């Protein structure tokens, strides 16, 4: 492991060091242990990103570089819905849980016989929710809470209409249901819930409609609200106390949620969090990023607009913000800072072991911070074509802007890289702790941008910019192809071991395995496996539709399976999904992805692969109505 270790092992190590966990029966450790224990089994996939590190790395090596050519479909499942299918299924104790696009159906399949749907939950939602979703009717997945002697195991699902539902994992019946977001003010939910201890963490969406972002913790037992913290406004609302950023006061400390805004603009200031979470059980810190400030028109909101665009570390029990690093002060490009957080333990350049969090941002920079206190360890460009920044000042943490690529009223900014879609978006990437490499699903899209004035009306879009987007300098700008990259990155050296161009943005994310493989799906409908050491393409499969989720893997009855959703959509798919032609429609995505329709159409479902397609129906009599044959 080269000193790297899973969070589970960290937790165990700390228990050994303290030598009191078991004896004193620390409720903290116990409450965490069940999910950590489940996540350590190769037979489970219990949360987004696989375990609390969010590294989406599996120790399974049954499928490896030697035999991946024999990977074939074992079984499939259609969700019965179109639109983008994001996220990935969960597997717990032999049952797979599947999420879908709006109206956010949930399906449970028994892995011994996935042809029979064990239970299904089909929510009735106000169809008006569709009209306030900025970027397709997507949903990033489910969460699992393991249950205790008081309360049964639960599957948690966030709905586009703003409700959070807890379903009994056993039969799918509703256990509790609360309102987290109100579509009447433009607030929706697409983020996957996240379970830590007995808390369900829920994010928010709607910065394109001026929604002030917040994250909420609910008690899994009864749905009661434990804490709710905002991205902008008074310190108390944000969870800023006396020790906030104590080790890095240069990042800013008190009062900035108001002082970096003019007047009451923070009340509609954005900063929603709809990406991914990670958690360190030793530090008891939850990591996530807040999104872009509202509106996109920078001239209408002078100031640094804190604490939008911020890598946040919150105390899990109180929600208090321990440290916060604003990556993009006064955003001018919609670089919503919500992307994936991946935890690792590595030696820094001075040879010191560090507990790290690595985060590839929309703004073209991949950040690695010390996750204990927020110290900046590295900040590298995702690609050398990034031009909005000259560099990040490592001492102050300030990204130094190239004013030529800023945006402002009465001006059309051109050839700005990255575009608003970022050089990285909602992709859930992976990290191989053996190789100490991050496998990054990257976009290669640049843009022209011109803001315009507009009023704020609750429930209406509040964007205020017109965009044209197109392939970056390394793509094919004449033919609108070459919009993505996949890269292997070392966070300490800052080096990319390998990189490869993709026809379209690598939107969904990656899975890394001990079989020296990195898997990912593409928008043009391929599921690919590369040698994670050198990037060589070893295998691919043509799916029914493009992928915008990330792959997962699990073992069942001794066989390793790899699963991935198909069903193109999300922001890159809005032109195709809603049949739009104007290149500036879909917040500028329609023009960039004008060719997507020549490779894929909509879909919605799951593909599960294994070596030679081994699976439950190798015995064809399984799930037959009858095996009796009547011959004349």
Among 195, 211, 231, 312, indicate the residue that binds other proteins (CB under 8 A): 211
185 lies in the site for other proteins, by CB under 8 A? yes
Q: Is 120 exposed, middle or buried (0-12, 13-18, 19+ CB in 10 A)?
A: middle
171 lies in the site for other proteins, by CB under 8 A? no
250 lies in the site for other proteins, by CB under 8 A? yes
Distance CA 108, CA 98 (A): 6
Among 79, 100, 180, 358, indicate the residue that binds other proteins (CB under 8 A): 180
Q: Which residue in the block uniquely carries the two structure tokens 């500036």?
A: 584
Return the number of the residue (276 or 367) whose C-beta is nearest other proteins.
367
251 lies in the site for other proteins, by CB under 8 A? yes
8 Å CB contact between 214 and 225: no
Q: Which residue in the block uniquely carries the two structure tokens 């493009």?
A: 546
| Catalytic site positions | 334
Please state, as a whole number, how many other Cβ atoms lie within 10 Å of the Cβ of residue 481: 18
Mask for 444-483, x = binds other proteins (CB under 8 A): ---------x-xxxx-------------------------
Helix (H) or strand (E) holding 9: helix 7-18
Q: What is the smallest separation between the CB atom of 97 and other proteins, expressed in angstroms?
A: 20
Q: What is the smallest separation between the CB atom of 104 and other proteins, expressed in angstroms?
A: 16
Return the number of the residue (266 or 550) whose C-beta is nearest other proteins.
266
Among 132, 256, 357, 501, indicate the residue that binds other proteins (CB under 8 A): 256
Q: Give how far the C-alpha of residue 277 lies from the chain's centroid of Cα atoms, to the nearest Å.
A: 8
Range 380-409, binding other proteins (CB under 8 A): 390, 393, 396, 398-404, 406, 408-409
Distance CA 512, CA 519 (A): 6
Among the residue ranges 12-20, 261-269, 377-385, 533-541, the one whose residues contact other proteins (CB under 8 A): 261-269
DSSP track, 311-344: EEEEETTT--EEEEEESSTT-SS--------EEE
Range 321-340, binding other proteins (CB under 8 A): 326, 329-330
Q: What is the smallest separation between the CB atom of 419 and other proteins, expressed in angstroms?
A: 20
Q: What is the smallest separation between the CB atom of 213 and other proteins, expressed in angstroms?
A: 11
168 lies in the site for other proteins, by CB under 8 A? no
Return the number of the residue (89 or 210) whose C-beta is nearest other proteins.
210
Mask for 333-372, x = binds other proteins (CB under 8 A): ----------------------------------------
C-alpha dist (Å) from residue 581 to 480, 575, 577, 586, 597 = 15, 7, 11, 9, 12
Question: Site for other proteins (CB under 8 A): how many residues?
Answer: 62
267 lies in the site for other proteins, by CB under 8 A? yes
Q: What is the smallest separation between the CB atom of 91 and other proteins, expressed in angstroms?
A: 27
Helix (H) or strand (E) holding 39: helix 27-40
Q: Give how far the C-alpha of residue 178 lies from the chain's centroid of Cα atoms, to the nearest Å.
A: 23
Q: What is the smallest separation between the CB atom of 249 and other proteins, expressed in angstroms?
A: 6
Cβ within 8 Å of residue 527, ≥6 positions away = 519, 520, 521, 540, 541, 543, 547, 551, 564, 607, 609
Provide the b/e sequence for 152-190 (b: ≥16 CB within 10 Å): bbbbbbbbbbbbbbbbbbeebeebbebebbbbebbbbbb
C-alpha dist (Å) from residue 494 to 7, 380, 598, 632 = 24, 6, 36, 73
Distance CA 381, CA 439 (A): 15
Q: Output Rg (C-alpha) for the chain, integer angstroms.
A: 23
Among 212, 354, 444, 530, indicate the residue that binds other proteins (CB under 8 A): 212
Distance CA 66, CA 517 (A): 10
Cβ within 8 Å of residue 522, ≥6 positions away = 484, 502, 503, 504, 506, 528, 546, 547
Among 179, 350, 619, 628, indicate the residue that binds other proteins (CB under 8 A): 179
Q: What is the smallest separation between the CB atom of 454 and other proteins, expressed in angstroms?
A: 8
Among 19, 23, 25, 263, indicate the residue that binds other proteins (CB under 8 A): 263
Among 34, 177, 540, 594, indicate the residue that binds other proteins (CB under 8 A): 177
Among 141, 252, 364, 525, indicate the residue that binds other proteins (CB under 8 A): 252
Q: What is the smallest separation between the CB atom of 306 and other proteins, expressed in angstroms?
A: 6
Note the residues at the interface with other proteins (CB under 8 A): 174-180, 182, 184-185, 187, 210-212, 214, 222-225, 228, 249-253, 256, 259-260, 262-265, 267-268, 299-304, 306, 326, 329-330, 390, 393, 396, 398-404, 406, 408-409, 453, 455-458
């Amino acid at each position: 492991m080269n000193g790297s270790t899973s969070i589970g092992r960290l937790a165990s190590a700390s228990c050994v060091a303290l030598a009191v966990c078991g004896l004193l029966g620390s409720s903290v450790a116990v409450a965490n242990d069940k999910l950590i224990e489940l996540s350590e089994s190769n037979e489970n996939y219990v949360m987004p990103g696989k375990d609390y590190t969010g590294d989406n790395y599996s120790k399974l090596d049954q499928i490896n570089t030697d035999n991946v050519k024999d990977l074939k479909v074992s079984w499939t499942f259609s969700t019965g819905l179109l639109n983008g299918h994001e996220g990935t299924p969960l597997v717990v104790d032999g049952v797979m849980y599947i999420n879908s696009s709006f109206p956010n159906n949930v399906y449970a399949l028994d892995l011994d016989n996935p042809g029979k749907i064990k239970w299904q939950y089909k929510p009735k939602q106000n169809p008006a929710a569709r009209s306030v979703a900025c970027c397709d009717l997507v949903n990033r997945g489910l969460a699992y809470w393991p249950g205790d002697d008081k309360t049964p195991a639960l599957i948690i699902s966030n709905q586009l209409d703003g409700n959070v539902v807890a379903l009994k994992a056993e039969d799918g019946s509703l256990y509790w249901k609360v309102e987290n977001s109100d579509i009447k003010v433009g607030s929706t939910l697409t983020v996957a819930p996240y379970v830590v201890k007995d808390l369900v963490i829920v994010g928010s969406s709607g910065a394109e409609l001026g929604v002030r972002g917040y994250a909420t913790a609910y008690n899994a037992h009864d749905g009661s609200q434990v804490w709710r913290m905002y991205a902008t406004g008074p310190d108390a609302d944000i969870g800023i106390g006396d020790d906030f950023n104590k080790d890095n006061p240069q990042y800013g400390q008190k009062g900035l949620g108001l002082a970096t805004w003019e007047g009451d603009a923070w009340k509609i200031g954005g900063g929603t969090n709809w990406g991914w979470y990670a958690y360190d059980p030793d530090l008891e810190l939850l990591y996530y990023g807040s999104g872009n400030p509202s509106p996109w028109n920078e001239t209408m909101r002078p100031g640094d607009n804190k604490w939008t665009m911020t890598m946040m570390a919150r105390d899990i029990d109180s929600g208090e913000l321990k440290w916060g690093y604003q990556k993009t002060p006064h955003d001018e490009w919609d670089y919503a800072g919500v992307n994936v957080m991946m935890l690792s333990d590595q030696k820094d350049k001075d040879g010191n072991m560090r507990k790290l969090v690595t985060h590839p941002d929309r703004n073209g920079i991949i950040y690695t911070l010390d996750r204990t206190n927020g110290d900046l360890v590295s900040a590298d460009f995702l690609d050398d074509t990034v031009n909005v920044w000259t560099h990040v000042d490592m001492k102050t943490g300030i990204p130094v802007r190239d004013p030529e690529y800023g945006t402002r009223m009465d001006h059309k900014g051109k050839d700005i890289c990255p575009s608003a879609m970022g050089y990285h978006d909602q992709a859930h990437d992976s990290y191989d702790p053996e190789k100490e490499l991050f496998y990054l699903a990257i976009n290669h899209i640049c843009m022209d941008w011109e803001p315009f004035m507009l009023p704020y009306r609750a429930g209406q879009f509040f964007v205020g910019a017109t965009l044209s987007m197109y392939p970056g300098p390394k793509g094919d700008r004449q033919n609108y192809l070459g919009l993505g990259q996949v890269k292997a990155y070392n966070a300490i050296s800052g080096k990319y071991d390998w990189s490869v161009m993709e026809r379209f943005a690598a939107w969904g994310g990656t899975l890394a395995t001990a079989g020296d493989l990195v898997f990912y799906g593409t928008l043009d409908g391929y599921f690919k496996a590369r040698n994670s050491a050198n990037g060589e393409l070893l295998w691919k499969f043509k799916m029914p539709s493009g992928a915008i989720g990330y792959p997962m893997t699990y073992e069942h009855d001794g066989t390793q399976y790899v699963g991935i959703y198909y069903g193109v959509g999300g922001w890159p798919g809005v032109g195709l999904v809603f049949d739009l032609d104007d290149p500036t429609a879909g917040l500028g995505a329609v023009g960039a992805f004008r060719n997507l329709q020549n490779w894929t159409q909509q879909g919605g479902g799951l593909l599960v692969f294994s070596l030679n397609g081994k699976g439950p129906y190798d015995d064809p009599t399984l799930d037959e109505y009858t095996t009796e044959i009547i011959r004349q």
